[in-house]
Chains A and B, each alone.
Chain A
């Protein structure tokens, strides 16, 4: 532990909330209309993280495998619903599809990182699984949102091109190749950018937290490297599964575009 670690008091946090009050003042002065959102976000940040603190405290002390797996699935489900909710027409089918993609991408990443690379003991050790999964899901969620948005808009906007390819005897996979390709790229670019500048212009949150919490900087850095690689992998797998499944939903088995997917 960092011997000089300051444990912020509730009063000190209240003072920090004063910073948001100033931000609200700026919003009001500039007529941005974000005052309400900022206030709600401030309260939500506090309540959600406080609740998390209690939940983690309970989970870490009980450490039952079923409970931990349940929490991981809960995190994935919330993430899937959030991604689907960002789209123009969120359907249950889309929610399930995103859930399947995130589960395969993040789940595979977590298993490889904790069981093959770190070899944590016991396998369900919540001190590792939950924070690592949180980092991976948070990033994969953004990538998945970008991937679906890009794929949907490309398939709608290039319908003529897709049908021209089908009419030349392309399979639906060939006809959707360009939109799928571009959607995967859109999903991957943010993590590549982050990896390019990490340590130069950005200090990642997890590393900052570990160093403040008293970890040896080199250990914190090794974990951060691991996290960045995990995110790159999970983003790629999630985007691959998601764009493949989502593109397939646009076509019938007879390689026809589904009108209902393109309408509205």
Chain B
């Protein structure tokens, strides 16, 4: 079962500016979470904390009951994997890319059946294995990044605006794959999104960040039909501090 991740009174300050203020949240095993909010609301920073690419200025994160600093970052990042907004593929074929996590961690194990399964989970078929990763479309690259992240057999998948660089069709298909990973594979998925429509499509829970704090935490169904807060309503009708959701 995936771990429970808890954030307790998290504050992050960067170059004297508060980025996250007093964020307390729990991500339950197998949950589907969408993090919404304007640009600069702290969404990406929140995700980077969860993958421990950054540490909070104050407050604590816990993986089940273990404080983050007591878990090896290398182990943590394999359990709580992250896919970035701009896909980064490494030199070589798609197969080389998928094997990268194994190559980082000896011994090297190149089971092709596993590669095929991961690729299919990310929405690509096995014919892609021999293709040059650098020559794929942005959407395909993003899927390769997702498949590669799945190679570490994570229990939690963090996605930072995974469709930001994609056209609407590719974006819709990627979101379907994300929903499948959550529902069929049982991964906890935490997805930062700029598009409320995607959060509505995947369902689950919504966390709205405003100015670095949690403004609303609600089920997607409730949030989109009857938001509980003024910030939630403003966000949905596009009047939240000049933001266009």
Residues of A within 8 A of B (CB): 160-161, 163-171, 174, 252, 254-257, 259
Could you say which residues of chain B place their CB within 8 Å of the CB of A256? 52-55, 73
| Inter-chain contact B84/A170, CB cutoff 8 Å | no
A-B pairs with CB below 8 Å: how many? 59
Closest to A257 in B: B53
| Inter-chain contact A160/B86, CB cutoff 8 Å | yes
| Inter-chain contact B14/A165, CB cutoff 8 Å | no
Closest to A163 in B: B53
| Inter-chain contact A161/B104, CB cutoff 8 Å | no
For the complex, what is the distance from the CA of A252 to the CA of B52, rounded to whole Å? 11
- What's the nearest-Cβ distance from chain B to residue A234, in Å? 32
Does B1 sit at the interface, judged by CB under 8 A?
no
Could you say which residues of chain B place their CB within 8 Å of the CB of A259? 14, 54
- What's the nearest-Cβ distance from chain A to residue B47, in Å? 10
Could you say which residues of chain A place their CB within 8 Å of the CB of B14? 259
Does B113 sit at the interface, judged by CB under 8 A?
no
Instruction: Give B81-101 as 1s and 0s: 1 = Cβ < 8 Å from A's Cβ atoms.
Output: 110101010100000000011
Query: Of B55, B77, B90, B145, which one neighbours A166 at CB under 8 angstroms?
Result: B77
Q: A160-B88, A252-B55 given. 8 additional CB < 8 A pairs?
A: A161-B90, A163-B84, A167-B82, A167-B149, A168-B100, A169-B105, A171-B74, A254-B55
Does B69 sit at the interface, judged by CB under 8 A?
yes
Known: A166-B77, A254-B73. A174 touches B104 (CB 8 A): yes
Select the residue from B54, B74, B100, B148 with max chain A CB neighbours within 10 A.
B74
| Inter-chain contact B149/A168, CB cutoff 8 Å | yes
Could you say which residues of chain A place their CB within 8 Å of the CB of B74? 169-171, 255
| Inter-chain contact B54/A170, CB cutoff 8 Å | no
Query: Of B90, B104, B145, which one neighbours A169 at CB under 8 angstroms?
Result: B104
| Inter-chain contact B55/A167, CB cutoff 8 Å | no
Could you say which residues of chain B place their CB within 8 Å of the CB of A165? 100, 104
Could you say which residues of chain A place their CB within 8 Å of the CB of B51? 167
Closest to B101 in A: A168
Does B152 sit at the interface, judged by CB under 8 A?
yes
